Structure 1
Amino acid sequence: MAADRRPLAIAVMGPTASGKTATAIALAKQLNGEIVSVDSALVYRGLDIGSAKPDAAERAQAPHHLLDLRDPWQTYSAAEFAADAGRVVADIVARGRMPILAGGTGLYFRALLEGLSPMPEADPGLREALAAEAAERGWAALHNDLAAVDPAAAARIHATDPQRIQRALEVYRLTGTPITELQRQRGVAPLPVRTLKLILAPRERALLHQRIEARFDAMLAQGFLDEVRALRALPQMAAVAAPLDLPAVRAVGYRQAWEFLDGQGTAAGFRDKGIFATRQLAKRQLTWLRGELDARWFDPHIDQQRLADAVATFVAR
């Protein structure tokens, strides 16, 4: 069998608050690498504190890519990410350096490493019509419509997930083909690299919950609510009829902060909701990561030597 001569890359994956940024920076410094963000919140300008975006000191330690690509009133698709990341990775490899892919957005990792099925572009008019239909009938009714044309999609999309219900119905109404069928087809080619997938996750779920709570409190102390107030004050955001439907505002923590600043609930209630939503995000991320059968799991607190050995073996091949 011929040796695999593809360039090397390392993917640092894991749930939120698991220590991915610190590990990615350490690997970049050790391996002459550059970090490629694989995070759907970090692409938005102005989402800094609440997204745990690497700060100036962290960025000074290693080059970072794919941060601050869009304004918060704009959208950014997985296909756009895969295309942008593919170009960035090719540039990094051409400079003789190693791409360190770091983040927690499973769809972005899948798009980049496995390729994407050929999906139609978003149709603003159809999306507006679907939103109006949902306002009249409710998202549960639209979920029933989806079940009628694409039972597999309806089975994996929760009835309270308007974004994914809307997208699945949009795809079907634009193409006449269920989104499940299109997802089986290959569109964007996978990244031509040999990747070591490292998953960082504390073995004790309680420890991850403690880290999430501590980080959320730190964000509050750093001025997270002031950051969201500044976002709300932007004229372009004020002009959006339904800001809570924007991908940037749907990011965990930002939705809860937005609703609190709209007058919903107390400060203590906002904190509890933000922490709970972050825990739920971590749970979803862990569920997705368990499907990464070719990945290796490490507890970042106790498995540092095992992780270092895995990286050394991979690089030496």
Structure 2
Amino acid sequence: MTNPSRPAAICLMGPTAAGKTALAMALAARGDVEIISVDSGMVYRGMDIGTAKPTPDELALAPHRLIDIRDPAQAYSAAEFRSDALAAMHEVVAAGRTPLLTGGTMLYFKVLRDGLALLPEADPAVRAQLDADAARDGLASLHRRLQAVDPVAAARITPGDSQRLQRALEVWLVTGKPLSQWHAEQPAPEPLPFDLRWFAVSPPDRAVLHERIARRFDLMLAQGFLDEVIALKARGDLHLGLPSMRAVGYRQAWLHLDGETDLPTCRDQCVAATRQLAKRQLTWLRSFPDLTWLDPSDISAPAQIIRHLPSGT
């Protein structure tokens, strides 16, 4: 439901490689829309090719907020995103434009909509142990552990979703209380001061999305993705346990550069991991209420979004 008493904001979601950036750029070309990135990889400086960050030319045409705001050695939490996004949205509205939040980090969209759960802070020692357990026994073993202590959370988290899986186990190990119980005990969030309009862009045919993913990663390789990871490795202060280096593609490229895989295997692993990410994103989107789906090949897609905005926006 829309609420005319609050300023409108567009939320443009979708799986990776679906065409969100192109659609957002088309909307921003109107001049009355300003883009706010909702991407946990694009927040990091120096991670440009592998995150499909907009090019300098694209950013010159349509600046994106919340891009290049962290060093890869630093963490960036969902709580920080929500605070930064709301501040950016207020600034955009004050300038007489409509906020357009776009990206593929579904957790960020959820936190923006629902607020933050009051969860315990991260425990570096526990996380390091879980990383070691995952490296030794595999993520499927961690998922079985989660099923034993929190079957509700385990039903929502796939064995391949390493970050959510390890966070759920971390909460249990630190507090002795299941993550699902923490969520169930949360107070209702305060209403947002914005009227969010929700859209998702994705090709109707999953095979088309898979082809786009493969084609985009091959383009990343041609653009110098491995050189980007070489530069990150050469810093000496980054490692695979950092949230930044867990981004899809970076871990696989790092291991390739360590000699664990050849280039064709690395390429196939990156494409497969990206397809798995897209599958998780689509699963989340299909459970999302009040969502308007758009086909990236439909030239009327920008107009479909514009029609959902208040007159005069």
1: CA distance between counterparts of 2:135 and 2:276? Answer: 26
Unaligned runs of 5+ in 2: none
AA paired with 1:125?
Answer: A
Return the offset for 1:96: 1.8
> Do the aligned residues in 1 keep the contact of 2:8 with 2:195 (CA within 8 Å)?
yes
1:286 aligns with 2:282: yes
Secondary structure at the aligned position of 1:196 is classed as: strand
User: CA–CA distance in 1 between the matches of 2:137 and 2:216?
Assistant: 39
Residue ranges of structure 1 left out of the alignment (5+ in a row)? 238-242
Match of 2:15 in 1: 15
Superposed displacement of residue 192, structure 1: 2.1
- C-alpha separation between the residues in 1 aligned to 2:204 and 2:161? 29
| TM-score under structure 1 length normalisation | 0.89
CA distance in 2, matches of 1:288, 1:258: 28
Residues 1:84 and 1:227: Cα distance change in structure 2 (over 3 Å):
same
2:142 and 2:288 map into 1 onto residues whose CA distance is 31
* Cα-Cα RMSD: 2.4
1-structure distance, mates of 2:66, 2:115: 18
| TM-score, length of structure 2 as denominator length | 0.90
Aligned to 1:77: 77
> For 2:267 and 2:21, how far apart are their aligned partners in 1?
24
1:6-49 deviations in whole A, cap 9, x for unaligned? 00111111111111111112212225121110011111111100
* 1:216 lines up with 2:217 in the alignment: yes
Residue type at the aligned position of 1:106? M
Query: Which of 278, 285, 295 in structure 2 is aligned with 1:299?
Result: 295
Deviation string, structure 1 residues 116-160 (Cα, Å, up to 9, x no partner): 211122122333344456677776555444333322112333445
Distance 1:216 1:142 in 2: 29
Aligned match of 2:262: 266
Contact map agreement 1:42 1:67 (CA 8 A) in 2: yes
Q: Deviation string for 1:156-175 (max 9, x for gaps)?
A: 33445443333113223333
Task: Say whether the 8 Å CA contact 2:20–2:103 is kept in structure 1.
Answer: yes
Q: Which is further off, 196-205 or 186-195?
A: 186-195
2:295 and 2:301 in contact (8 A); partners too: no
With over 3 angstroms needed to count, the CA separation of the structure-2 counterparts of 1:188 and 1:260, relative to structure 1, is farther
For 2:136 and 2:279, the matched residues in 1 are separated by: 32
User: Comparing 209-218 with 118-127, which one deviates more in the overlay?
Assistant: 118-127
| Residues 73 and 301 of structure 1, relative CA distance in 2, 3 Å threshold | same
Instruction: Work out the number of aligned pairs and report it.
Output: 310
Structure that is richer in helix per residue: 1
Partner residue in 2 for 1:47: 47
